[in-house]
Structure 1
């Protein structure tokens, strides 16, 4: 891995507030990250999300997709917007505005709607129509786990799905094995152990692993350090850090 290669963060959040874009761009500059996929932050507090991850539950709060779109417009092309859908709305807002975005973000642990729920399926159908990839989290709960994601991906083979945050928990080697037969599911590594990242690269190949940061909950330097110690070849790092996210967002590899 060489620091001169371009880096495209596959998953960051744009926090609420007028200075959010400037703070994110400043952090990207310090960390030598060229571009980032961004979704809205602030739909749920970290404390409430922590509780819901363990106990279940949901919020029906909308994310501020308008602020994300406006922030990306001001970024000079460095920020790429994904639409953070609220399944409780029935998909009307995504249907109306999805063409302005480059992908779809689903958060079952936030909104409490399972991956095989008809509301989720309706949103993925819309994503397929827009030509969007779908980024989502899984949790270990019936209908919310990696097995449900695989079933969803089988139903929509033309949609690229991203299993976010290195799967479920700290050591989701099983999740890696579950998605391996589904070529339209890729693995984003923010928050994951270095060992899990290495296992994903070995079992899935560099074409199915994406570098992401989960900014601002995680500092990008922490995620970059994980890859530095793995000492990837230049070609593998180019795929993980740039080409795969270009493919996900429909960007040219230029």
Structure 2
């Protein structure tokens, strides 16, 4: 089973770019199927009301029953005091399996981490290159698994990505995804130094082509068992609820 751990779905309410305006899945799903991707983690585009956005994602997940896995997007700032209710609705009513946080909205908070811990679900946290927080975050919440997308920086921040590679082997609850990683040598280094159990395949669909992103994983030339971990096994393990 190949699982894409990073894809947006639905509509945002901004109007500055696709990341906060619209994330249609029709072409993504066709491309993913052609590439052999069988399931996909989805969450909203940027939104000023993540409660409404998560409900829209839930409708999309229900429409594609068995094909999509929902993550609840929350804003650490504007959703303060309300994260447990939002995530609880997403997990208990919609069957979502994780939390998405983006530093564009605000730096992750204790509230978000404690909610993730109580529900036994991972956090996909885009740190936007601010990987230094992981040295505080991971030991403070050892029961919470953190997936850091883009090897730490979608902006191709070399120093941030190298720093994350250094952290992956020594922070047992920190993982990364491969979405949008441009420097193939760094992707190789992450797998070599941290091991295949710490890396997850992601595409950042629908805007990046899932087949092209998956080709990077296949180009690593890993043993089949290791490739299976990255392509889906690690994600399945992380979303298996412990509570």
TM-score by length of 1: 0.80
On the 8 A contact 2:148/2:176 being kept in 1, the answer is: yes
Partner of 1:29: 33
Q: Structure 1 pair 137/25, CA: closer, same or farther in 2 (3 Å)?
A: same
Select 1:152's aligned residue among 137, 140, 148.
137
Question: Is the Cα contact below 8 Å between 1:105 and 1:136 reproduced in 2?
Answer: yes
Counterpart for residue 55 of structure 1? none
Assess, with a 3 A threshold, how the Cα gap between structure 1 residues 36 and 147 changes in structure 2: closer, same or farther: same
Q: Secondary structure at the match of 1:67?
A: helix
CA contact (8 A) 2:10 2:44 kept: yes
Q: 1:94 aligns with which of 62, 65, 86?
A: 86
| Structure 2, unpaired ranges of 5+ | 13-21
Partner of 2:7: 12
- Name which of structure 1's ranges 174-183 and 240-249 shifts more when overlaid on structure 2: 174-183
Which residue matches 1:167?
152
Look up the match of 2:220.
Answer: 230
2:99 is equivalent to residue 104 of structure 1: yes
Give the root-mean-square deviation of aligned CA atoms: 2.0
1:65: which partner in 2?
54
Q: Deviations over 1:176-198 (max 9, x none)?
A: 10232110001111111211111
**Partner secondary structure for residue 89 of structure 1:** coil
**How many Å separate the matches in 2 of 1:163 and 1:156?**
15
Q: Distance in 2 between matches of 1:147 and 1:156?
A: 15
**Aligned-pair CA distance for 1:9:** 0.5
Decide whether the 8 Å contact of 1:190 with 1:211 is kept in 2.
yes
CA distance in 2, matches of 1:167, 1:40: 20
Q: 2:198 aligns with which of 197, 202, 208?
A: 208
Is the 8 Å Cα contact of residues 28 and 209 (structure 2) preserved in structure 1?
no
Corresponding residue for residue 111 of structure 2: 122
Comparing 8-17 and 193-202, the one that deviates more: 8-17
CA distance in structure 1 between the partners assigned to 2:68 and 2:220 by the alignment = 27
> 2:178, 2:187 within 8 Å by CA — same for their partners in 1?
yes
SS in 2 for 1:82: strand
Retained in 1: the 8 A contact 2:150–2:179? yes
Counterpart of 1:58 in structure 2 is none
Instruction: Measure, in 1, the Cα distance between the counterparts of 2:5 and 2:88.
Output: 24
Alignment match of 1:132 (pick from 115, 121, 124): 121
After alignment, is 89-98 or 194-203 more displaced? Answer: 89-98
Structure 2 SS opposite 1:148: helix
Return the match for 1:39 from 25, 43, 62. Answer: 43
CA distance in 2, matches of 1:76, 1:82: 15
**Across the two proteins, how many residue pairs are aligned to each other?**
219
Q: Which moved more, 1:169-178 or 1:181-190?
A: 169-178
Q: Given the two structures, how large is their TM-score scaled by the length of structure 2?
A: 0.83
